[in-house]
Amino acid sequence: MKAGLVAVAGRPNVGKSTLVNALTGEKVAITSTVPNTTRRRIFGVANGEGWQLVLVDLPGFQRPMDALTERMQETVDGSFEDVDVVLLVLSARDRIGAGDRFVARRVFSLGVPVVIALNKIDRLKHGHVAAQMKVAAGLGDFHALHPVSAKVRDGIEELRDDLVHLLPEGPALFPREQHTDLTLEERVAEVIREKALHLTRDEVPHALMVEVDELGDTVRARVLVETESQKGILIGKRGAMIREIGTRARPEVEALVGHRVFLELVVKVRPRWRRDRKSLERLGL
């Protein structure tokens, strides 16, 4: 059979995680409009007749600002060893600029086939997409360039077929029933964080982290922030915000664990956790 690793690279907010979810047909990575939503390397596994495609969803390339973003960039830099293909993701809605060229120089230097996905083409005029494709084509010696929309799944099957074609012959890397390398606790924590990201703004989303303490008929999780003011925002007036986060998260949590649950969320302050490498290690980041 054919099986291999495809690193999914690009700057923040180009839709890498949405694209990984579309290619695997399973929600393995949370998504939001907040830059740096993806903080760790996540494997998304897609299986077909005679093939297994393992997509490596990575944080966006960035200039580190604190210990957390330093570790995120270290994760990116260390994730290109032993990959068989790189999927370079660009946003058709944004100018293809210096950040994209920086990522392109890095991935085209690896010596493996590079496939470019020009994402977010939905509701764009054909002329605009064509102009963006022309710019993208100048980034390097690519194997193929696919205009796609991960959101509406336009062009996804063709892109997946192209990636599978480039995979080497070899045994499956994951059991066929496994869709990701994340544990159940990690997936539940990420779902809760995603709903909190959708409901908050300014600095709060970047300071959010979730830890699951209990996973049974009752799911207990701590939502961590860095300051008392962030805690107040996250709890909301008379607990309205944290209740809404729980309400939005519960259906997906129940789908993951396979039964109905009581979801208990507690907001805690952990000062400067993003700048403390020991805290980041405890959090698995």
CATH of the domain at 162: 3.40.50.300
pLDDT attached to residue 72: 65
Looking at residue 75, its pLDDT comes to 66
Tokens representing 285?
Answer: 């980041």
**Is 177 a domain residue?**
no
> What is the predicted pLDDT for the residue at 261?
95
Residue 174 domain flag: no
What is the distance between the alpha carbons of residues 285 and 89, in angstroms, rounded to a whole number?
23
Q: Domain for residue 178, yes or no?
A: no
Predicted confidence at residue 58, as pLDDT, reads: 79
Cα separation, 187 vs 180, in Å, equals: 9
Query: Does residue 204 sit in the same domain as residue 101?
Result: no
Report how many domains make up the chain.
2
Closest CA to 92 of 60, 67, 122: 122
Full pLDDT tens readout for the chain, 285 residues: 999 999 999 988 899 999 999 999 999 988 888 777 887 788 999 999 999 999 998 777 666 666 776 776 666 666 677 899 999 999 999 999 999 998 999 899 999 999 999 999 999 999 999 999 999 999 999 999 999 999 999 999 999 999 999 999 999 999 998 999 899 999 999 999 999 999 988 778 788 999 999 999 999 999 999 999 999 999 999 999 999 999 999 999 999 999 999 999 999 999 988 887 877 777 677
Query: Would you state the pLDDT for residue 31?
Result: 87
Are residues 227 and 144 located together in one domain of the fold?
no
Q: Give me the residues paired with residue 221 across strands.
A: 212, 265
212 and 119 part of one domain: no
pLDDT of residue 141: 95
Is residue 30 located within the same domain as residue 143? yes
Q: Which amino acid is at 268?
A: K
Helix (H) or strand (E) holding 74: helix 67-77
Q: What is the pLDDT of residue 61?
A: 63
Question: Which residue do the tokens 């964080």 mark?
Answer: 193
For residue 171, being part of any structural domain is answered with no
Quick one: 156 and 192 in the same domain? no
Q: Do residues 131 and 270 share a domain?
A: no
Check which CATH number belongs to the domain holding 231 and give it.
Answer: 3.30.300.20
My answer on whether 159 and 218 are in the same domain is no
Q: Both 149 and 277 in a single domain?
A: no
Helix pair 184-199, 240-257: axis angle to 10 deg: 150
Q: Quick one: 149 and 14 in the same domain? A: yes
Q: Is residue 173, in this structure, part of any structural domain at all?
A: no
Residue 172, in any domain of the structure:
no
Last residue of a domain, which of 132, 166, 200?
166
Q: Is 6 exposed, middle or buried (0-12, 13-18, 19+ CB in 10 A)?
A: buried
Report phi then psi at 112, rounded to 5: -120, 160
The residue range of the domain holding 162 is: 2-166
Return the H-helix or E-strand segment holding 51: strand 51-57
Task: Check residue 154 and report its DSSP letter.
Answer: B
| Shared domain check, 220 and 158 | no
Do 82 and 199 fall within a single domain? no
Q: Are residues 212 and 157 in the same domain?
A: no
Inside any domain, residue 271 = yes
Residue 175 inside a domain? The answer is no
What per-residue confidence (pLDDT) applies to 180?
A: 93
